[in-house]
Chains A and B, each alone.
Chain A
């Protein structure tokens, strides 16, 4: 159990376009999901906490108008990179915890989305 999926697994887009990445919890409901960004050979950097039915909480230094997060249901959160530029190229990973039970302290990660902006 506790499976998180992401779509797409990789995307290439032109500079100035917007890209949407989906994160789904497949076998549990997640009131909270997390979005991370990972640069090559580095650890994960938390970008924002996605809250079902309310606004996301962004980490310091993350532009909320640049990285739009929508958590419209208990199994789906989306991250939209607006007006993407080459510096937005990165590996984006989402995660979620089961809301209750012995694994509620455990974050389960999606497989990641590789974004390349040309």
Chain B
């Protein structure tokens, strides 16, 4: 069965320091993996996605994620946090490749940024 585990429910960093949000997945084959960000009372915005073209994926707003098959991980990083990065982040797996596939959400990680 497919699953996604976000290892931290809450991460707090100081502005200007690196961000690491951890995600592990379980899949019997190479799925599509995504990171989304959700600001309060907003929908989810796609940050980046992995679809086997390259293991290091660059996204919007300076975020990137590295797919490590041996570790079944897809951690999200950013070199320098900004106050506007404070939000909820979701790691998501799409186990299928059709537009009708149900995706699987991680439980989310709330990122707080200290001034």
Q: Does B103 contact A (CB under 8 A)?
A: yes
The docked-state distance in angstroms from the alpha carbon of A42 to that of B43 is 13
With a CB–CB cut-off of 8 A, which chain A residues contact B94?
105-107
Q: Per a CB cutoff under 8 Å, which of A41, A46, A104, A111 touches B99?
A: A104
Q: Per a CB cutoff under 8 Å, which of B43, B101, B102, B107 touches A112?
A: B43
1/0 contact trace for A50-62 toward B, CB 8 Å? 0100000000000
Question: Do A105 and B105 have beta carbons less than 8 Å apart?
Answer: no
Name the residue on B nearest A6 (C-beta).
Answer: B43
Question: Do B106 and A109 have beta carbons less than 8 Å apart?
Answer: no
Question: Do A43 and B102 have beta carbons less than 8 Å apart?
Answer: no
Q: Assuming A43-B90, A109-B36, is B99 touching A98 (CB within 8 A)?
A: yes
A81-100, CB < 8 A from B:
91, 93, 95-100
The docked-state distance in angstroms from the alpha carbon of A58 to that of B92 is 21
Contact residues of B: prevailing secondary structure: loop
Size class of B's contact patch? Answer: 20 to 34
The docked-state distance in angstroms from the alpha carbon of A3 to that of B105 is 20
1/0 contact trace for A27-49 toward B, CB 8 Å? 00011101000000111101001
Question: Do A31 and B99 have beta carbons less than 8 Å apart?
Answer: yes
With a CB–CB cut-off of 8 A, which chain B residues contact A106?
32, 34, 46, 49, 94
With a CB–CB cut-off of 8 A, which chain A residues contact B105?
43-44
Q: Per a CB cutoff under 8 Å, which of B36, B43, B44, B101 touches A105?
A: B101
| Top 6 A-B pairs, shortest CB-CB distance | A97-B99, A109-B44, A111-B43, A109-B43, A32-B100, A105-B32
